[in-house]
Amino acid sequence: MRNLLLIPTAIMFLFSCNENDEQVSSEQANYRILFEDTVRIDAKDELLFVSNSLGSANYLPSTDNVYNFNSKDLIMEVYNIESQGLVSRHPFEREGPNAVGQYITGFEMLSEEAIFIFDINFFAKYNLKGDRLLKVDMLDFHNFSGDSLLVTERLMPSGGFYGEQFITIYTIKNTFEGVAFLDFQKREIRKEMAPEFDKASELSFSILLNGNKWPIKAAFEVNVGNKKAILSSDAYNEIVVFDMETGERSHKIFKSALFPNQKVPKHTAPVMEGDAREMQLLLLDQITFGSFQYDETNKLFYRISYMANGLEGEQKKYRRFLSIFDQDLNHLQDIGDLPDDFPSSILFIRNGKMHSFLNENDEIAFTVMSVVAE
């Protein structure tokens, strides 16, 4: 699950002989979405952390709890889904030997004994008591065995775990380059370039604002599910899949009749002047592809995408789409014409049901949905 606490404007495996796997989704309605419930969390007179829309939360099936890291007050809030209430709060330290850092950029959780909190200067592992169990400074990665990390290359604090191995992307001079496989215990790193997405450079431009250049470009991320690492971009209806068991690599290109299959460059120069918001919309108003999440119960992957759909008064409207893939990431179907209030992302999947965060007057709730085969 991807959990970023800070998304900078600039953010944007083994090669095999496989041909590109191009797939066209079926237009037949084989699946439909069923809205089942709204689960509300009893805060028990506590003020819960909702300011980042639970973007720093993880769900652990082993405990049936949601762990929401409050990056402002450095407190881990624990909610139980079954009892629908706040279970506990656990403080973390800002300074000292167990410090989580001053500039937190990411959060990933494997268990209550393996909580990874990423600072702009280091990656570190903690337990729920706040003890720091492992720390790796950013500069330390240059001393890892395996593939060398150049001075101009940087690892991004988002991705997913396969066992103890953390899989993320790396950039060179703030431009996407490829995928990195990290083993913190063995202090090893392996890099795999991704030339399939070299074309993303066509989308890159900068906004000149008050004498400063602000880069606008396609975003990339890695999601892990069903023993696969999935490299995707918000700009293209395609993925690169790394099978973590076999080492095989495949490139899948999807086609949809419901929405455009890629963003297109609309800027007229590498550096653009004008209203910053207007310039950003050159990419943001186009189709945006979301993250991949795996439903272990139903053996399906889900992805939510969206694109602008005019204005309602001064409020921008969006069309949202749910794409469904089988456990091997074969494209099954796209579902469109979703309600205006359809969630823009899936926070977690529990017992075969999608749960998306819902802010109800600064109270935490989850919209519960199922994908039903007809």
Q: Does the residue 281 lie in any domain?
A: yes
The token pair that represents 350 in the structure block? 């529990």
Domain CATH code at residue 36: 2.120.10.30
**Burial of 117: CB neighbours in 10 Å, binned 0-12, 13-18, 19+:** buried
3-state class percentages of the chain: helix first, strand second, coil last, to nearest 5: 5, 55, 40
Q: Which residue has better confidence, 24 or 51?
A: 51
Q: Quick one: how far is CA 207 from the chain centroid?
A: 25
Q: What pLDDT sits at residue 25?
A: 60
User: Is 335 inside a domain boundary?
Assistant: yes
Q: How many domains in the chain? A: 1
**Residues listed for the chain:** 374
- Position 310 pLDDT exceeds 80: no
Extract the tokens encoding 85.
Answer: 């209430």
pLDDT in tens, 5-33: 333 333 332 323 344 666 666 445 589 99
Domain assignment present for residue 125? The answer is yes
**Mean pLDDT lowest for which of 9-13, 270-274, 278-282, 285-289?**
9-13
Confidence of residue 362 (pLDDT cuts 50, 70, 90): confident
Is residue 6 domain-resident?
A: no
- Amino acid letter for position 250: S
374/244: higher pLDDT:
244
In this structure, is residue 44 part of a structural domain?
yes
Tell me, what's the pLDDT at 14? 30
Mean pLDDT of 202-208: 92
Mean pLDDT of the 300-316 span: 84
Task: State the DSSP code for 282.
Answer: H
**Domain with 125 in it:** 21-373
Q: If you average pLDDT over residues 197-225, what whole number do you get?
A: 92
CB 174 within 8 A of CB 215: yes
| Geometric angle at alpha carbon 192, from 189 and 195, rounded to 5° | 160
pLDDT digits (tens, 9 = 90+) for 93-133: 999 999 998 888 888 999 999 999 998 889 999 999 999 99
